[in-house]
């Protein structure tokens, strides 16, 4: 599907939900995609991208940023504490804040570098063992802890269980955000972004629907 088609579908979903057109930020998830596909989307004027690995992003984004300096990149994958320095250097937002040790490291680096990336707390709404994120019952306490560290938390992020109706998880994420006074909602991917927009997503993370299937080697 083309970038334009995706944007049209987002606008339709916003209209159906009586939301202002263009309110939802589209993060084009460029992980694993060959450079020519990413360049094509940059050439079409899109400037907001998502990567799930620090190292991969470090390899390809400095070059793209030289050519398109107004590009923004968001880290949407898990972050190890030994990569926090590099992540704060490179990314404009981090969607995977999910544990106290990481929160403390982020606070240190944000202070040291004088940068202020938008941070999202990842919530494991499905309480899946293999998935990153804070479980819902621990969310309020963790968000409060982040606030005592003065972290710039702007919202919450979720990856719903693959085999469940995502809308239930989007609604739960929104509820947790509302009771914590957070407005950012990073939710919705290629297969469910319209449902996420309907439930108030502020950031959707769409990869394969824009770029085509990822060819892992």
Residues that bind ligand PLP (CB under 6 A): 29, 31, 52, 76-77, 159, 189-190, 205-209
**Comparison of 108 and 167: residue with beta carbon closer to ligand PLP:** 167
Bridge partners, 93 (sequence order): 74, 118
Distance CA 14, CA 17 (A): 5
CB of 14 to ligand PLP, least distance (A): 18
CB of 122 to ligand PLP, least distance (A): 9
CB of 77 to ligand PLP, least distance (A): 5
CB of 51 to ligand PLP, least distance (A): 9
**Comparison of 143 and 206: residue with beta carbon closer to ligand PLP:** 206
CB of 18 to ligand PLP, least distance (A): 25
**Comparison of 147 and 214: residue with beta carbon closer to ligand PLP:** 214
Neighbours of 143 (CB within 10 A): 23
**Comparison of 37 and 147: residue with beta carbon closer to ligand PLP:** 37
Residue nearest to ligand PLP (CB): 207
**Comparison of 38 and 159: residue with beta carbon closer to ligand PLP:** 159
CB 21 within 8 A of CB 47: no
């Amino acid at each position: 599907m083309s970038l334009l088609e995706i944007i049209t579908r987002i606008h339709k979903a916003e209209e159906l939900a009586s939301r202002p057109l263009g309110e939802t930020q589209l993060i084009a998830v460029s992980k694993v995609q060959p450079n020519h596909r990413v360049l094509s989307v940059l050439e079409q004027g899109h400037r907001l991208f998502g990567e799930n690995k620090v190292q991969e992003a470090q390899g390809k984004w400095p070059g793209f940023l030289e050519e398109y300096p107004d590009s923004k990149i968001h880290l949407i994958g898990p972050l190890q504490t030994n990569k926090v320095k590099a992540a704060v250097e490179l990314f404009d937002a981090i969607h995977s804040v999910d544990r106290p040790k990481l929160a403390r490291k982020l606070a240190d680096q944000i202070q040291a570098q004088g940068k202020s990336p938008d941070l999202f707390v990842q919530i494991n709404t499905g309480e899946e063992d293999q998935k990153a994120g804070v479980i819902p019952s621990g969310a309020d306490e963790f968000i409060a802890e982040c606030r005592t560290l003065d972290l710039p938390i702007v919202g919450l992020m979720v990856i719903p269980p693959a085999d469940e109706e995502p809308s239930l998880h989007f609604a739960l994420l929104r509820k947790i955000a509302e009771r914590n006074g957070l407005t950012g909602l990073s939710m919705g991917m290629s297969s469910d972004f319209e449902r996420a927009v309907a439930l108030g997503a502020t950031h959707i993370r769409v990869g394969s629907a824009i770029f085509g299937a990822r060819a892992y080697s």
